[in-house]
Amino acid sequence: MTLTDRQKEIIDIVKKYQPITGKEIGERLFLTRSALRTDFSILTGMKILESKPKIGYTYIGKDETEKVKDIMGPPITVDTNLSVYETIINIFSKDVGTIFITDNDQLVGVVSRKDLLKIAIGKTDIDKIPINVIMTRMPNIIYVEENDSVLDSVKKLIAHQIDSLPVVRVEEKNGIKFLKIVGRLTKTNITKLFMEFLSK
């Protein structure tokens, strides 16, 4: 959930003058307390601010920006040497639209159901073709890092019209950087976050 400029301003005021009442915050913003009611509700619901009767609002220290690592699911992967046929079995048994290809936990490729369908309907022996022959490789893989904001990640999902993103951590081995896959961010993860927000 991304905060509005006014909500960020409220947080800054509370950090500086806490504890502070809603009326005092409104006076600093030249607004009535009732005009800020929705903002206060969102900020307390997200556990950024805490409201105490007769005391006012205090900042309780939660990061205002939701991170990918807070909502991501486990990665769904197969090894780079697996056959196309075995990959098809995996993608359907795990009921996902995209599967990530790894080599020793390093992200090396991505394959969608559409990619698998294209090769499966061709005149090829999919039991003998390794998945690394048809996978999308770097630098054409769209990914996010675990500390990226959810908002930026949603923008990537929309911009590239994809259903899921691999979540990676940049690591280094023998002086060479590589992307270790640590999770999976999907539209379902985003929807669940949205539903949690609405239910508060």
Give the C-alpha separation, 133 to 96, whole Å: 20
Strand partners, 168: 145, 181
Mean pLDDT calculated for residue range 44-55: 87
pLDDT digits (tens, 9 = 90+) for 8-49: 999 999 999 999 999 999 999 999 988 999 999 888 887 889
pTM reported for the whole predicted model: 0.68
What token pair was written down for 101? 């290809």
Could you tell me how many residues make up the chain? Answer: 200
In sign, the C-alpha dihedral spanning 125, 128, 133, 136 is positive
Q: pLDDT grade, residue 78 (50/70/90)?
A: very high
